[in-house]
């Protein structure tokens, strides 16, 4: 792996409390087959695991957009040798076109963009195998979210204020 120099720009001194005295960027995992590290970035400190969602992609170059998919992956970070971190693909079929995510309770809350046969909505996934998924909400006052309407529009973001409160 090439040596990557990094620079962080801080606009508030409190940011140094997050980064520490010697922040650096390190490549954990690389995948040249599909754009696997796009969004979510949900980290569990207790297990040193990072869950990420890919960008949309097709399994073949000419895949129509309605057949594209998003892959959820789990990276188990090796602190002593980051380049030996392990990436595992999670069965993503229960979270249609998973996008952003956030820690929620003991798992992950994903925004699912939906597919032709599964609704857009907020999906809860357990952070441990077998990664059981539950659709929490797919409508607003009985009005169904539309196919590919981002449930976290307009800034594609889900914020956690308290462990039981979700702001979209």
Tokens for 44, please give them: 């569990």
Has residue 134 got a pLDDT over 90? yes
- At residue 161, the pLDDT reads 45
- At residue 106, the pLDDT reads 92
162 versus 108: which is more confidently predicted?
108
Tokens for 38, please give them: 């796009």
Tokens for 7, please give them: 């620079």
Write down the pTM of the prediction. 0.79
Average pLDDT over every residue of 90-106? 92
Q: For the segment 3-50, what is each residue's pLDDT rounded down to a tens digit?
A: 455 577 888 989 888 888 888 788 889 999 999 999 888 999 999 999
- At residue 146, the pLDDT reads 65
Q: In whole angstroms, what is the distance from residue 106 CA to residue 21 CA?
A: 31
Give the pLDDT band (50/70/90) at residue 132: very high
139 versus 125: which is more confidently predicted?
125
Give the pLDDT band (50/70/90) at residue 116: confident
Give the pLDDT band (50/70/90) at residue 155: very low
Mean residue pLDDT across the chain: 83
Q: In Å, what is the CA distance from 2 to each residue of 21, 25, 65? A: 23, 12, 35
Q: In whole angstroms, what is the distance from residue 43 CA to residue 75 CA?
A: 9
Q: In whole angstroms, what is the distance from residue 143 CA to residue 139 CA?
A: 5
Q: For the segment 39-97, what is each residue's pLDDT rounded down to a tens digit?
A: 888 999 999 999 999 999 998 989 998 889 999 999 999 989 988 999 999 999 999 99
Query: Per-domain residue ranges for the chain?
Result: 29-167
């Amino acid at each position: 792996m090439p040596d990557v120099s990094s620079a962080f720009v801080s606009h508030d001194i409190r940011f140094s409390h997050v980064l520490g005295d010697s922040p650096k960027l390190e490549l954990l995992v690389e995948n040249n087959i599909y754009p696997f590290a796009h969004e979510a970035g949900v980290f569990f400190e207790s297990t040193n695991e990072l869950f990420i969602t890919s960008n949309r992609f097709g399994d073949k170059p000419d895949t129509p957009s309605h057949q594209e998919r998003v892959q959820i992956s789990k990276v188990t970070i090796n602190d002593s040798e980051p380049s030996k971190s392990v990436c595992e693909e999670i069965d993503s079929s229960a979270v249609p076109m998973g996008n952003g995510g956030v820690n929620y309770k003991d798992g992950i809350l994903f925004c699912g963009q939906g597919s032709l046969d599964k609704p857009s909505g907020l999906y809860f996934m357990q952070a441990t195998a077998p990664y059981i998924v539950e659709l929490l909400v797919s409508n607003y006052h009985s009005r169904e979210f539309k196919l590919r309407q981002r449930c976290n529009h307009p800034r594609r973001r889900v914020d956690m204020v308290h462990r039981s409160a979700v702001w979209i």
